Structure 1
């Protein structure tokens, strides 16, 4: 039971990262987070252990736990794995699969969010779009791997600052175009588009993260301020 609660707590914290409510370098108060998630400190420590193992959190002696700050090397590796997963899955995908519905809903959500100028919602919709692609494989294990990649990628997006809107805006229409090609029955063409899409996305993100001045891989110093999620923030949007 404790293990299940720890996994659920890890899922809740991971969701906060994916939706941008927890940001790179943010310190996590054990007391505040345990109260927010309504779990014991022992359960929370196990959840922290899971997320440290996944590379989403870092633990430093006498400094507690903080959200990880991705490096340029992390970005390169994340996109390498994304191409290995997403491109072949889309090429073999069936437009009648429920994953295609997830993709359609994500495109609609991103277009609506762009009209409202809400870049965080656009980022979340973009994540769901790519999760829909991976769902086409029908593999729970692959879904879990991609969910962790998405959380790591969201941390990289968290370093963009004022550039985040410009970054995501360019991919809203590309998601829509890729989806149209896939639904029209050209899975191979859509997969080729996705491969170019991921390459362009990686280059843009590398440039932006480089300008943001990411630390070296060994530098995981958290921010001085100690900010923790509110209880209401533990619910997925």
Structure 2
């Protein structure tokens, strides 16, 4: 694997493989420099395909790229053709790659302790609130206590400003969510902690093996794409598969 990519720090079984890309090591030019993997953001398609080809060289198959819609649909990669409208993917077959793309939203990679199933979820605040984590865990069809989760690079709690309506929606759904929001300064504005919100959701399901969640895409412009910071920007990928 390239040194430009992140290897999840989690105690996954030997047959589980996972990585998360950064913005480095590709062929794109500003504002997509350089390893943009998203075809939907206005970049030169030839550059994106070259970047995907570079990634593909270390994968067992072409990833199952999703048309992410900030929803809760989860697909089985082994039974999927094309790019479905979905924000989660699972797989029990070796050699098939689950993938999600992000540029501030939270990517989650999942596996079970026995190495029989893997999953990936794309969780912005809408997906978190709607239940994409719960849907992905349910689709894995194993006991939540047997699941390991790695929280990939996302916008950090010091940078993600939201309004009253977002905080209220989370708190109405779960009073514990109050701890994930701090006043941002201006009235009606809050700093939201996507990582904590995800941990709360996972804990409520009975998932205890939670790792990662320490990076901030917004505050590391040399390393990560960030939609909230730049507006027009590329997309990174977080991927997981079984050998």
Question: TM-score range, shorter-chain basis?
Answer: under 0.3
Higher relative contact order (CA 8 A, sep 6+): 1
When Rg is computed on C-alpha atoms for both structures, the one with the higher figure is 1
TM-score where L is the length of structure 2? 0.26
Normalising by the residue count of structure 1, what TM-score does the alignment of the two structures yield? Answer: 0.27
Q: Which one has the bigger helix percentage?
A: 1
More strand by share: 2
